[in-house]
Amino acid sequence: MTIKPHWSEGSLWSSLLLACIGAVAVDVHADEAASRPVATRHQMMKECMAKQKASDAGLSKAQMKKNCRDVTETELENAKADKRKRDQTAGTPQN
């Protein structure tokens, strides 16, 4: 009894090609996200308030503002940390 492989050579190469294309697409997307400018605090608050109102969670306007302030501060801190990390890796000499 002979067991045939499930994958033919052609389908193996096709799968490998698709995997490479996917990896490149993810890398390009990450580069675009890194180069995208960070929104201003005002823009971030405005977008957050719109999302809070759209969710209709029954929160008061003061509570929505507090939630949005917290979210905005966290996003800005994360953006600064990401920028520092990119700057450090860009300034590191490659061997």
Q: Containing H/E element for 3?
A: none
What is the pTM for the complete model shown? Answer: 0.51
Residue 1 in any domain: the answer is: no
User: Is the model more confident about 84 or about 57?
Assistant: 84
- Residue 88 is predicted with a pLDDT of 87
Contact call for residues 39 and 63 (beta carbons, < 8 A): no
Contact call for residues 52 and 70 (beta carbons, < 8 A): no
- Residue 89 is predicted with a pLDDT of 85
Regarding whether 51 and 28 lie in a shared domain, the answer is no
Regarding whether 43 and 29 lie in a shared domain, the answer is no
- For the residues of 9-44, what is the DSSP string, one character each? HHHHHHHHHHHHHHHHHHHHHHHHHHHSPPPPHHHH
- Residue 90 is predicted with a pLDDT of 78
pLDDT digits (tens, 9 = 90+) for 18-65: 565 766 666 655 555 555 666 889 999 999 999 999 987 888 999 999
Regarding whether 86 and 54 lie in a shared domain, the answer is yes
Write out the residue range of the structural domain in which residue 32 sits. Answer: 9-38
Sign (positive/negative) of CA torsion 20, 24, 29, 31? positive
Structural domains of the chain, count: 2
Confidence class for position 94, pLDDT limits 50, 70, 90: low
Please check the confidence at residue 1 and state whether its pLDDT lies above 90: no
Confidence class for position 71, pLDDT limits 50, 70, 90: very high
